[in-house]
Amino acid sequence: MPSVSASQQLVPEWSRQSAVLLTWPHRHSDWAAYLADAETVYQHIAVEVGKRQQLLVVCYDDAHRDYVARRLRPLLPPQHLRLATAASNDTWARDYGPITVQDAAGKPRLLNFHFNAWGNKFAFDLDDAINHQLQLQQLFKAPMQDIDLVLEGGSIDGNGAGDLLTTTTCLLSKQRNPHLDQQQIEDHLRQLLGTPNILWLRHGHIEGDDTDAHIDTLARFTAADTIAHVSCDDPADTHFLELQAMSRELAGLRDSHGGAFRLVPLPIPAPIYHDGRRLPATHANFLIINEAVLVPTYRDPSDAIALENLAGCFPDRQIVAIDCLPLIRQSGSLHCITMQLPWGVM
């Protein structure tokens, strides 16, 4: 295994946070057709985050910023709401927001990877520039480094102990980094994120997902030794074979010390359709914040099981259900629209 730089390491999501980054939905984005429904979900998330830590909201322009301010200021402690202005193509902050590592002294550094809309599927020029816009507005205390590599935050998940989860269908997509093979991508991840043990999943996909199987739709660390993952026990469901194969893969994974992971199943919701298309409902798209875990729900019986199982993973945090049925109309959910900013970033 190649040597790993000890100079920086990916900060796990459960670490203490300064803020959560949101890009507020607007009429120039794909949310236009049901903007009110989307904003209701965003507001629920904003209120739950704002109870516990800062919320950094990116607004499309000055008029949009004034609108968001009028909407959120009565609901959040004033010291917890920060507003920024930066035009965006869309609002998937998980995938173009900065990824935080900490250096050997424990201080945060921001890595600004390229974003190309999941392999040039959609327009992305404005989204790819947002981190620089935030830096110019002096919203980050931590330094930021540009990385000449396409990488989305939703495509990786780390446990702070040297292990990194990802999927081959996403990171090895030739629409992202066509000049790099698997070994070269691993070398970059080890050097940039301080994760010597790259854990690749070759199985697992949620219908309706257009990210090429982001790991945050499938399997997530809840602790250094625990992975919560989407599961399917219904042979009639189109996900059955792939998710059963993924469960077997997860059972075979070993951490950087050779130990197996504790696995916690999150049942996939019954099929939900919109305009004849199955939507990518997944409880794995939860967000860990200070003192709480925000869990996407879909008005489905699986919600209660997922909430209970995640409560067992996070006994010291409040489990908060967020109705995300409107979000999955655009093929994403709660984790996809948010990016945590660890302590010291703001």
- The burial of 89, by beta-carbon neighbours within 10 Å (0-12 exposed, 13-18 middle, 19 or more buried), is given as buried
CATH for 8-342, among 3.40.50.720, 3.75.10.10, 3.40.50.150, 3.40.50.740? 3.75.10.10
- The whole-number average pLDDT for the span 86-97 is 98
Contacts of residue 329, Cβ cutoff 8 Å, sequence gap at least 6 = 34, 274, 279
Q: Compute CA distances 320 → 164, 267, 308, 328, 338, whole Å.
A: 26, 18, 11, 18, 15
pLDDT tens digits, one per residue of 22-31 = 999 999 999 9
Reading the block at residue 134, the tokens are 């935030």
With beta carbons less than 8 A apart as the criterion, state whether 80 and 50 touch.
yes
Predicted local confidence at residue 6, as pLDDT: 53
pLDDT in tens, 53-83: 999 999 999 999 999 999 999 999 999 999 9
- pLDDT for the residue 7: 82
Residue 2 has pLDDT above 60, yes or no: no
pLDDT at 5 over 50: no
E strand or H helix at 112, and its extent?
Answer: strand 108-114
Average of per-residue pLDDT values in the chain: 96
pLDDT in the model for residue 4: 38
- Model pLDDT for residues 273-319, shown as the tens digit of each residue: 999 999 999 999 999 999 999 999 999 999 999 999 999 999 999 99
**pLDDT tens for residues 236-274?**
999 999 999 999 999 999 999 999 999 999 999 999 999
Given a contact cutoff of 8 angstroms between Cβ atoms, the answer to whether 186 and 154 are in contact is no
Q: Report domain extents, the chain.
A: 8-342
Closest-CA residue to 306 (of 336, 283, 334): 283
Give the count of alpha carbons within 13 A of 237, CB side only: 20
pLDDT digits (tens, 9 = 90+) for 129-181: 999 999 999 999 999 999 999 999 999 999 999 999 999 999 999 999 999 99
Amino acid identity of residue 130, one-letter, is I
81 contacts 50 by C-beta, under 8 angstroms = yes
| Size of the chain, expressed as the number of residues it contains | 346
